């Protein structure tokens, strides 16, 4: 993909072991994976199992990231300022951004606290997700507490989506459960993930039929848009 930097990104190769099992190997220069248990996938493993095992590795990699790093969200704020000056990007209408669906980051996720606060100071309504018992997400106004229900995400022009990784096609992988995949189907706006440098997946992530892509990914050093 033009302009896509893969230096330091996550990559798995495949080694045959005794002709029976395939073991992903890290790309050259990726040493963090060597400290983790190997992923073993049989030739006939389905995508669900492969995705689950990939997620396990990505979670361990995320633990190595710094806590409270707000550089990616700061870069996203700059980008949103530029988008507001445009009438349309990739078929999506912007103008003045009034509603953003975000989330509250925790532990080693790229920080969203400063991002959310800055949006509020600019008069932007910030909706935050609340997980229901059936793993669906309802959306609540971060200031007033007003609940907009499951369809509240449809109000947002921008949706900031948590992820463990995003591949070169814009396919994301999250913590599991499919909550965001179901929610994103209800939104026609611009969907973006915040990641640390090195968390972009080189190649294609294992995916299921319900998985949803995002329009862009932002790290502390770059913005990548997917076509």
Nearest of 87, 92, 180 to residue 139 by alpha carbon: 180
DSSP state of 37: P
Which carries the bigger pLDDT value, residue 24 or residue 112?
112
Query: pTM of the prediction?
Result: 0.75
The tens digit of pLDDT for each residue in 31-47 reads 333 333 444 434 434 56
Q: Is the pLDDT of residue 28 over 90?
A: no
- Residue-wise pLDDT for 82-100, tens only, equals 765 555 555 455 557 899 9
Burial class (CB in 10 A: 0-12, 13-18, 19+), 78: exposed
**Model confidence band, residue 81 (pLDDT cutoffs 50, 70, 90):** confident
CA 179, 180, 184, 189 dihedral sign is positive
- List, by residue range, all CATH 3.40.50.10420 domains of the chain: 71-225
User: Nearest Cα to 212, choosing from 226, 199, 224?
Assistant: 226
Judge whether residue 140 has pLDDT over 80: yes
135-172: string of b/e by CB count within 10 Å (b at 16+)?
Answer: ebbbbbebeeeeebebebbbbbbbbbbbbbbbbbebbb
Three-state secondary-structure class, residue 104? coil
For residue 192, the SS3 value is strand
Going by their DSSP bridges, the two strands 216-218 and 190-194 should be labelled as parallel
**Topology of domain 71-225, CATH:** Rossmann fold (3.40.50)
Read off the pLDDT of each residue in 140-160 and give the average, rounded to a whole number. 97
């Amino acid at each position: 993909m033009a302009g896509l930097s893969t230096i330091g990104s996550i990559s798995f190769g495949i080694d045959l072991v005794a002709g029976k099992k395939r073991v992903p190997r890290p790309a050259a220069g990726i040493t963090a994976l060597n400290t983790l248990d190997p992923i073993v996938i049989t030739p006939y493993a389905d995508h669900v199992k492969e995705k689950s095992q990939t997620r396990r590795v990505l979670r361990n990699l995320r633990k190595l990231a710094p806590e409270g790093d707000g550089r990616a969200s700061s870069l996203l704020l700059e980008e949103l300022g530029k988008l507001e000056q445009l009438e349309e990007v990739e078929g999506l209408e912007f103008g003045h951004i009034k509603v953003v669906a975000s989330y509250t980051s925790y532990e080693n996720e790229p920080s969203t606290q400063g991002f959310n606060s800055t949006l509020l100071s600019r008069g932007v309504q910030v909706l935050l997700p609340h997980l229901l018992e059936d793993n669906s997400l309802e959306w609540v106004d971060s200031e007033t507490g007003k609940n907009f229900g499951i369809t509240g995400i449809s109000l947002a022009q921008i949706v900031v989506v948590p992820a463990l990784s995003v591949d070169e096609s814009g396919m994301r992988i999250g913590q599991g459960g499919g909550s965001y995949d179901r929610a994103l189907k209800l939104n026609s706006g611009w969907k973006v993930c915040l990641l640390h440098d090195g968390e972009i997946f080189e190649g294609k992530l294992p995916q299921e039929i319900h998985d949803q892509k995002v329009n862009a990914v932002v790290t502390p050093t770059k913005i990548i848009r997917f076509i």
